[in-house]
Structure 1
């Protein structure tokens, strides 16, 4: 089927297009910069010649409407993340884009319409394990507020019977991220400078597994659905230990109380407004790092007929690519670094 995809220039969207092609679908991508999208698609293993590229912005309702014409399903994977300090008016972008893409697809009768949300809408959580029935959070951060606002809008559509599937991924990880952000940027900062060890942890979901799940979600007639795909949950010490094991390199680590890390994120945010610098700790990132708990992914994986690849493979592929792409000093990647003549 012909499927509209937003975010094809980004991490999740580009891999999703590759998964759609593999599954025999015809992807149509709404992109602002076709050249940038082409590079991202090629890196993710998708042949751009087999993808219909439509130039436009998800905030332009008319452009979105043109892109939706003739499609039978849609996957809304575009979003401003901004967890590590990037992004403008996140509420305007994430809520406005969701209204145009998801709302526009529902109005035109597309089925299903897949909305890529985030486990952040449940953080800080009420229970020791996050489920799709858990209460939505009341976040203090701009990113969290923007995603909760979009979530409430999508749930209103679901309450009206719209065939919207919401997917909640955790920390997306793997090779070929067009612009480093979130977990991938955090790995570089932790290995390059110092790895903080606060309470809490991270859910690691391979971008290729997430893309496959989104492609498998394209079954019409199932009605509204909500799926958690937080991935493999690791405490920060477990994640650090695993990176040490995979690379063979002992990086610097710093145990830190959760409150202190959140305070540090707030301070760094203030300092960046005076003089920008490159370290991916913000109040948003500290909030997720210290508050996240495991997610119950079992219902989604069972319905999708999937099994997540081992987290060791995901982190190995991510760290190897970070070194190959020049984002990570080969000395920090250790045994995962490319041969000396290649860097």
Structure 2
């Protein structure tokens, strides 16, 4: 097939490009002007289309002649106004949908996120399936705009134009320099990561990049009558106890465990305070996210796991990569870079533009 991939200069999108080429597909990658395309240019047979999700004309040119669109690009950073998130995640996806449909593409696979279901206030939720409704109030602009974009994608399904969405959570693996794992282990290595668990078990579903890629490729070819207009949770087989997992990975890289332990109530108050202070700063000085936000705290303290029965049934999804095998590949790769510091703070820019990469979901 002819496949257009967005976000290919980022983590998941780059792995998608590799996998599609391995399977013999013709791949075109949408890249922003000025983005780092050195790795993509080294891939034989990959075509680069310079464009932007905010530029419909460039999207029409990129989509010309493509059978399938794998839309991985998004604004995923933990900072920015609602308007910025809307422009990248909602308007950008709408522009790409329009371009793909006009170009005659027959399949549109949207990389969404379980964060699209993240409410302002909720406790632990285990074994969630696709029957869970969208919230009426969202915890973060990322959640709100991913939900709106996902709804638009699913509503665009027709017999001639199959659309579906995948919801991987906590994507991890080699070549990730900006996601949750390098960010947290980098902070742990610097002695700046407290234990925010409050002493409770935080059970989560994660998704290795190989497993997310496998689901995307299956969604690109699954029978239209089975997947059209539907969203699917995608996750590793294992349920992960988050804080012991972080401690174990950190220990393998010479990091001391997270400390001190912060009670949950104190963590919530701290996150609310830091978020408020950050918002009071001039917009020009908000080049980084607040040290802790209510959204990031929720990701680190709420137990949330996902039932992948629907993906197994409709996509034939069976995670090809176990957590043990993923770590057996990841840890030597980190050591080959020089350890946690160059992994999480590379001297060569690896962090993609907010609209092109997928550092976390």
| TM-score > 0.5 by shorter chain | yes
SS at match of 2:216: helix
Q: Could you say what the CA RMSD is over the residues aligned between the two structures, in angstroms? A: 3.0
The residue aligned with 2:351 is none
SS at match of 1:129: strand
- Please report the TM-score for the alignment, with normalisation by the length of structure 1: 0.82
Matched residues in 1 for 2:60 and 2:69: separation?
Answer: 12
Matched residues in 1 for 2:278 and 2:339: separation?
Answer: 21
SS at match of 2:206: strand
Aligned partners of 1:129 and 1:295 also within 8 Å: yes
> Any stretches of 5+ residues in structure 2 without a counterpart?
345-361
TM alignment of 1:5-24, pairs within 5 A: 5-24=5-24
TM alignment of 1:266-277, pairs within 5 A: 266-272=272-278, 274=281
Alpha-carbon distance, 1:111 to partner: 2.2
Matched residues in 1 for 2:328 and 2:274: separation?
Answer: 30
2:232 maps to which of 221, 227, 232? 227
1:53 maps to which of 45, 48, 55? 48
Which has the larger displacement, 159-168 or 10-19?
159-168
The residue aligned with 1:166 is 165
> Any stretches of 5+ residues in structure 1 without a counterpart?
333-343
SS at match of 2:139: coil
Q: How many residues are paired up?
A: 324
SS at match of 2:66: coil
1:282 equivalenced with 2:257 (yes/no): no
TM alignment of 1:38-187, pairs within 5 A: 38-39=38-39, 41=40, 47-83=42-78, 85=79, 89-124=84-119, 127-137=125-135, 138-158=137-157, 162-177=161-176, 180-187=178-185
Matched residues in 2 for 1:166 and 1:147: separation?
Answer: 11
Matched residues in 1 for 2:33 and 2:339: separation?
Answer: 23
Matched residues in 1 for 2:246 and 2:217: separation?
Answer: 32
The residue aligned with 2:25 is 25
1:291 equivalenced with 2:296 (yes/no): no
- Please report the TM-score for the alignment, with normalisation by the length of structure 2: 0.78
Matched residues in 2 for 1:170 and 1:323: separation?
Answer: 25
- Note closer, same or farther for the CA distance 1:153–1:229 as it changes in structure 2 (3 Å cut): same
- Note closer, same or farther for the CA distance 1:183–1:270 as it changes in structure 2 (3 Å cut): farther
Matched residues in 2 for 1:269 and 1:316: separation?
Answer: 37
Matched residues in 2 for 1:204 and 1:174: separation?
Answer: 11
